[in-house]
A and B are shown apart, each in its own frame.
Chain A
Amino acid sequence: MAKEVISILVDNHSGVLTRISSLFGRRGFNIDSLTVSTTDKPEVSRITIVVNDDEKVLKQIILQTARLEETRNIFVLNPANSLYRELLLLKVAADKSNRSELREIGGIYKAKIIDLSPGSMVFELTGEPDKIDAFLKMMEDFEILEMCRTGITAIERGGLSEHLS
């Protein structure tokens, strides 16, 4: 079992995400996260998925997804040469008594405070998933009101990816 990040370039059509998730549902592929957005080319969307499964399943995910008419390219990112980022929004109960402590922890992780109310605080943090996990660990001592994280989006370092050239 290994965590792998897969990039899928697809036609930017309505319904393409349904098609991908329908395939995953039918074949019983489990994924940890999925993000999708448009790219610099308006006709192309990029889907980033994180898979935590054995090599055989990973291979099936790639080959089955590659069969779809709307899949332009699919590849596994090399972890040694890739940048993984995720965005976290976290709402914590905060009042006079712990506001400065929270601010201090946020400062260490370079999390931004983007909302403040008499009873709460919202942090915004971008980073590698491990960093977000570590920040959340520290926040366990406080009362978390709401949380959402986007899942990983990823890109390779250096010039145009060998997978795309």
Chain B
Amino acid sequence: MKLTGADIFVQVLIEQGVDTMFGYPGGAVLNLYDALYKASDKITHIMTAHEQGAAHAADGYARATGKTGVVLATSGPGATNLVTGIATAYMDSVPMVAITGNVGTGLIGRDSFQEVYITGITMPITKHNFVVRRVEDLAHTLREAFRIAQTGRKGPVLVDIPKDVTGAITEYVPEPPVQVEPVTSYDQAAVLHAAQLINSASRPLIYFGGGVCASGAGELLRELTQKAQIPATYTLMAAGVMGYGDPLNLGLLGMHGSYTTNKAASQADVLIAIGTRFSDRVALDPASFAKNAVRIQFDIDASEIGKNVDVDCSVVGDAAVVLKALLPHIQPATHPEWMRQLQSWQSIDYRPKDHSDRLMPHQVIGSCCELAGPDAVYVTDVGQHQMWACQYIRHVKDRKFLTSGGLGTMGFGYGAALGAQAALGRDQTVVMMTGDGSFHMNMNEACTAVSYDLPVITIIFNNQVLGMVRQWQTAFYGKRYSSTDPHRKTDYVKVAEGFGLKGYHCETLDEFRAAFAEAMASKKPAWIECVIDKDEKVLPMIPAAGNVEDIMMS
């Protein structure tokens, strides 16, 4: 059948199983929005306050479901406003298809109104990107974008469509979506070598990251830890994969990981890195990281092997596939001496102190988890609250702790939380934790929460300052608090009311518990401001490029 480019665009989205997308209209995408209007019974389009929020929403949707997130924006500023969102998804390997309109092909390259070379701008932050210059190429290109986003190591793909292409007519032939083939190849000899190294270890340690979540390998990972009694530590991207009651779960590794995990990495004799990339927030000093260990790395992306830290044995492959191949060759084992050593480190590890006269972040988070129940989804912004969330949330499961790890994007949280809520439905409890710094970046998305009645509960840790940067200034810059104390006078309760949602101001744990319970029961979006002390720190902390010997516990 003959269709316009805009109708083909909608048909391909439906083909690919897209039922929810995020975006913001504009001149270059008028035809696309007209086609979406006609298909509004099949695709729900959520219009955000700002294109950045839409990009983070598509990202949050993808992180919460594993499906590809879709975002649409107009040319020029619409497209550039997506950039931070696309880069965030790229750094955390999140599958996303970003579609931008552009000026007509006849106007490209002439500095036309709202023209920008978005494929050039996004080249280093996408897996791939396309400009569609002929309507005949549109359907195929969009299908390719969805295939690439989900293939191998996942990531964002951008498709730029000039306006005249959306209006041109061509033959459309429906196609079923390509079933993305999981990466099933791996080197059997390397797997056997890895098994041999693991079987001969006396102080083994598993260190895993987001690749375990992306491949759905959580169960297999737990099986490996159980079978040979191997303790495990994780990165920010893999919080929640291991159960918190499990003694083999040592917790977070790296800059704000525990003394125990960092000590374990430095003393292990065999380190098994799974779906992780030895980033500078974990292997702070690549030369001394896990220096006593034979290092094994499993990763789906060959270019990650040895990129940051040299390894002795590596297997390129999907985490689930490699673990499945590895498990039969792992001999049951125990490491009582190693476990005793770990427990002795745990006994002197950092513990936050409870207070009854003021709000403590760990107590707020503890109460929140208790009230939100075991199935809540947690989304964070970036900064101190993000680290506290990762350290103290106890009920998290796979795909239920959504945070910007690689790019560290302040302002990520609200959009991502709305995307997760839209994906999982209004009955899902979604809690967004933010700081007063991050929240000021994109709090405008409150209007989206209200318009679409997405009952995200936002907890604002308000310490009046940019706490994480200020913490560094305290530790390394002689308490010269340059531009981290903005003296804002924001009244969150009033602002919330102005947006049309309920706001709460809390200074005690009882107030917080009451506010949270009320917000949960209301099934409406709400903000809960928690006043905390500006000198509250994220501990422990290892300075950049340091190691466990440099750890700060107070």
Contacts and interface: CB of A to CB of B under 8 A. Distances in A.
B303 A23 contact: no
A18 B120 contact: yes
A59 B314 CA distance: 14
B301 A67 contact: yes
Interface string A1-25: 0000000000000010011001100
B44 interface: no
B114 interface: no
Contacts of B305: 63
A67 B119 contact: no
Contact of B124 (A23, A56, A70): A23
Contacts of B301: 67
Given A18-B120, A18-B123, A22-B123, A69 B303 contact: no
Contacts of B302: 63, 66
B119 to A, nearest CB: 7
A22 B148 contact: no
Contacts of B119: 15
Contacts of A100: none
Nearest to B128: A69
Given A63-B303, A67-B301, A22 B127 contact: no
Given A69-B127, A69-B148, A60 B120 contact: no
Interface in A15-40: 15, 18-19, 22-23, 26
Interface string B140-151: 000000001000
A63 B148 CA distance: 18
Interface residues of B, number: 14
B25 interface: no
A59 B306 contact: yes
Listed residue (A18, A22, A67) with the most chain B CB atoms within 10 angstroms of its CB = A67
Interface in B285-321: 301-303, 305-307
Given A69-B128, A69-B148, A60 B303 contact: yes
Contacts of B148: 69
A64 interface: yes
Contacts of B128: 68-70
B374 to A, nearest CB: 38
Interface string A47-71: 0000000001001100110111110
A26 B303 contact: no
A26 to B, nearest CB: 5
B302 to A, nearest CB: 5
A60 B307 contact: yes
Contact of A19 (B123, B131, B306): B123
B155 to A, nearest CB: 10
B303 A67 contact: yes
Given A69-B128, A69-B148, A64 B303 contact: yes
Interface residue tally on A, bucketed by range: 10 to 19
A68 B127 CA distance: 7
A67 B301 CA distance: 8
B298 to A, nearest CB: 16
A15 B306 CA distance: 30
A69 B149 CA distance: 11
Nearest to B133: A14
Interface string B147-168: 0100000000000000000000
Listed residue (A15, A18, A23, A56) with the most chain B CB atoms within 10 angstroms of its CB = A15
Contacts of A63: 302-303, 305
Nearest to A15: B119
Contact of A66 (B124, B303, B307): B303
Interface in B5-60: none
A26 B305 CA distance: 19
Interface in B256-309: 301-303, 305-307
A57 to B, nearest CB: 11
Contacts of A15: 119, 131
Interface in A57-109: 59-60, 63-64, 66-70
Nearest to B119: A15
A114 to B, nearest CB: 36
Contacts of A23: 124
A22 B124 contact: yes
Interface string B80-117: 00000000000000000000000000000000000000
A18 B128 CA distance: 12
Contacts of A18: 120, 123
Contacts of B124: 22-23, 26
A19 B122 CA distance: 10
B127 A56 contact: no
A56 B303 contact: no
A56 B301 CA distance: 16
Contacts of A67: 301, 303
A162 to B, nearest CB: 20
Contacts of A19: 123
Contacts of B127: 69
Interface string A108-133: 00000000000000000000000000
A64 to B, nearest CB: 5
Contacts of A70: 128
A62 B263 CA distance: 35
A26 B124 CA distance: 7
Nearest to B307: A60
A158 B269 CA distance: 48
Nearest to A14: B131
Given A56-B306, A63-B305, 7 more contacts: A18-B120, A59-B306, A60-B307, A68-B128, A69-B127, A69-B148, A70-B128
18 contacts: A15-B119, A19-B123, A22-B123, A22-B124, A23-B124, A26-B124, A56-B306, A59-B306, A60-B307, A63-B303, A63-B305, A66-B302, A66-B303, A68-B128, A69-B127, A69-B128, A69-B148, A70-B128
Interface of A: 15, 18-19, 22-23, 26, 56, 59-60, 63-64, 66-70
A-B pairs, top 3 by smallest CB distance, nearest first, are A63-B303, A69-B128, A22-B123
